[in-house]
Amino acid sequence: LAYNNDLFTVHIPQGIDDATVRGALLNEYGIEIGGGLGKFKGKVWRIGLMGYTSRKENVMLFLAALESILRSLNYKIAGSGIMAAADVYRKEK
């Protein structure tokens, strides 16, 4: 995970198809993220968190949607991004 201003770049887990996940995010949740470009095509997702999209509600929705889709593809998730994000938001208060 790398942070560059308002763009997160996340490595796609091995065995997970980039287009399948991005398509499910868009079609099932109305969430659009970018795929990798050039040598990173099919290897990373580009997730923008700017303005309205960076609100807590949207971040939590995205994490829940991504976890749900990955689980539906039988990807084993260690821990929970939702719980980790909730912990960060609680500490910010």
Per-residue pLDDT reduced to its tens digit, 12-32: 999 999 999 999 999 999 999
pLDDT tens track for 44-83: 999 988 887 788 899 899 999 999 999 999 999 888 888 9
* pTM of the entire predicted model: 0.85
The region that residue 9 occupies, defined by phi over 0 for left and psi between -120 and 50 for alpha, beta otherwise, is beta
pLDDT score, position 2:
44
